[in-house]
Amino acid sequence: MRPQLKLYCSYAFSSWGDRLWQFALSLILVQIGEDLRLVAINGFVTCLFVLIFASSIGVWIDKTARLTAARTTLTVNNITVAASAAFMLTIFVWKDALDNTWNGWLRTILISSAIFLCSVSTLASLGTKIAITKDWVVAMSADDGNKLADMNAMMLRIDLTAMILSPLIAGQLMTSISVVAGCLFIAVWNICSWGVEFWLLNTVYRSVPALAVKQSPDQALEIISSQNLDHPDTPRNADVPGTPKNETQRNCCYFTSWGGLRSVAEGWHSYYHQSVFPAAFGLSLLYMTVLGFDGITTGFAYSQGLQENMLALAQGVGALVGISGTLLYPRLKAKIGLFRTGLFSYAMELSCLTLPLASIWLPGSPFDPASYFRGDPLEQNLPLADGNETASVINLIQSVLLNTTSEMLSIVEDKSNPSLCSISALLLGIVLARCGLWMSDLAISQIMQETIAEHERGVVNGVQSSVNQLMSMIKDLLVIVLPDPRTFGLLIIASWISVFCAYVSYMDSLAT
């Protein structure tokens, strides 16, 4: 088996476990809390963890040998997911006993511990992705841009496929058997898959000698300090702040509070001074949008009378369109080059997103911000519920692959129900934009891989994850400020502007 195939298998196991737990956790927290509060708390805590600690994870990856970094993050991720699932399992099995112990405080402690472990597992998963998809694949491609494009596309394809299929397994287990069975399966899966992933990473590392050669930040600083940094031909990404002496001091105090803050500050400084910074920042702007299949857009579509099976179908078709983008990207990159592929991808995404922009003024649109600010009551078009919220959510995801695209197209063609015209245009534009979105993501990621110095890949990609999370939180705050369906059009306009600014930022990076 080739090293690349072994790496793909390891990443598939990891992505499958992560996606399984992400889907199951929301349903479990809803059942435990009987509302969305625990789900929101878990999401908020996870966002804060990524925002605060992602750059520190990147610094640590830069300082650590490749195999050690990958194995450590992999181990922490699988152990924390298994432990979190075990805590949830305990809460379900011994619910009555926990409610009567310490006036229910033991149950609260277990829930808090599970949420904390989920946040840690998210950080560890992020570390694994940075190590494998941002560093290992670059070393394994041996400066072959086309090979790197193929590997990046395959990694993203694996993740998108896991996003489609893993909810079907988790949902089926939790529906046909029980939530306890789902928790038990996920815990056992992460324990068993850890051994397989660990072995695969070891064999890949031994099969590719280039992975054993890694330039540390200390070595890079020594090389840079021996050069004339004032020379105009010095690469921009070689401008690393500090001297070898300062770097030694940073190593000594890295694990102290002050040392950690210094590493974070230096990481953000390094990120800002990268030549690829405009393109990287543009990628972050793509996270500040409601034009995706997250809970916000799904909730809005549901409020406009769209049935659960159609929402699931739209999300499934969108994922398939995204996978088609990963198939198109390597071929397009080989024909027109990396930078032009990025331009084409952004243009494709923006063109498709004009449909959601136009949907604001199409028949059936609830867009009426003046009415909202006047305080007029809202008229809802919610479909009838079946009384089983958890089963409804599970069936929503499970029906992704069990419908046909003709059902979705029939909505667009239904002229007799003008209330669906606007929401159909919105969803159709989002679905079609998935191809351009993921191709632009691949293009920018490869530009960063080829541009960022080896000793800075971890910290720069860690900061990139923090900036992505920051933009996502800004989007959430905008939704909190404008939560009404009548103001959703304003969020669509802001989202389109954000994508356009990302396009402009990408073009600016080509000029620098």
Kindly compute the dihedral angle of the four CA atoms of residues 439, 440, 443, 447, in this order, to the nearest 10 degrees. Answer: -160
Instruction: Name the average pLDDT for the chain.
Output: 81
Nearest residue to 293 (alpha-carbon basis) of 400, 139, 409, 195: 400
What's the gap between Cα 102 and its chain centre? 38
Q: For position 224, what pLDDT does the model report?
A: 44
Nearest residue to 332 (alpha-carbon basis) of 348, 344, 346: 344
Q: Which of 110-119, 125-134, 209-218, 492-501 has the lowest mean pLDDT?
A: 209-218
Residue with tokens 């072995």: 199
Average of per-residue pLDDT across 10-37: 81
Domain 275-512 CATH assignment equals 1.20.1250: yes
CA distance 138 to 62: 14
pLDDT reading at 70 higher than 90? yes
Q: Which of 95-104, 433-442, 481-490 has the lowest mean pLDDT?
A: 95-104
**Strand, helix or coil for residue 378:** coil
Residues forming CATH 1.20.1250 domain(s) in the chain: 1-208, 275-512
Asked if 211 and 450 count as a contact pair (C-beta separation under 8 A), the reply is: no
pLDDT reading at 417 higher than 50? no
Q: What is the pLDDT of residues 314-354, one digit of tens each?
A: 888 888 999 999 999 999 999 999 999 999 999 999 999 99
**Strand, helix or coil for residue 320:** helix
Which tokens sit at 129?
A: 């992705």
The share of the chain scoring above pLDDT 70, in percent, equals 81
The share of the chain scoring above pLDDT 90, in percent, equals 42
Which tokens sit at 413?
A: 């063609």
Q: Which of 221-225, 327-331, 471-475 has the lowest mean pLDDT?
A: 221-225
Asked if 494 and 353 count as a contact pair (C-beta separation under 8 A), the reply is: no
Residue with tokens 């891989």: 449
- Tell me the CA distances in angstroms from 116 to 288, 316, 413, one per residue in order: 25, 30, 47
Residue with tokens 């600016």: 508
508 versus 295: which is more confidently predicted?
508
In terms of C-beta density within 10 A (0-12 exposed, 13-18 middle, 19 or more buried), how is residue 512 classed? exposed
CA distance 312 to 404: 11
Q: Which of 24-38, 253-267, 268-282, 302-316 has the lowest mean pLDDT?
A: 253-267
Q: What is the pLDDT of residues 352-377, one digit of tens each?
A: 999 999 999 999 888 889 888 887 77
Region of residue 34 (left: phi > 0; alpha: psi -120 to 50; beta: else): left
Which residues are within 8 A (CB) of 400 and not within 5 positions of it... i.e. 6 or more apart?
Answer: 164, 167, 168, 312, 313, 315, 316, 319
Half-sphere exposure (CA, 13 Å, Cβ side) for 305?
A: 15
**Strand, helix or coil for residue 241:** coil
97 versus 500: which is more confidently predicted?
500
Q: Computed from CA positions of residues 327, 331, 334, 340, in that sequence, does the dihedral angle turn out positive or negative?
A: negative
CATH number of 1-208: 1.20.1250
Which residues are within 8 A (CB) of 492 and not within 5 positions of it... i.e. 6 or more apart?
Answer: 290, 291, 356, 357, 359, 360, 426
Asked if 174 and 486 count as a contact pair (C-beta separation under 8 A), the reply is: no
Nearest residue to 82 (alpha-carbon basis) of 18, 32, 139, 149: 18
How far separated are the first and last CA of the chain, in Å rounded? 42
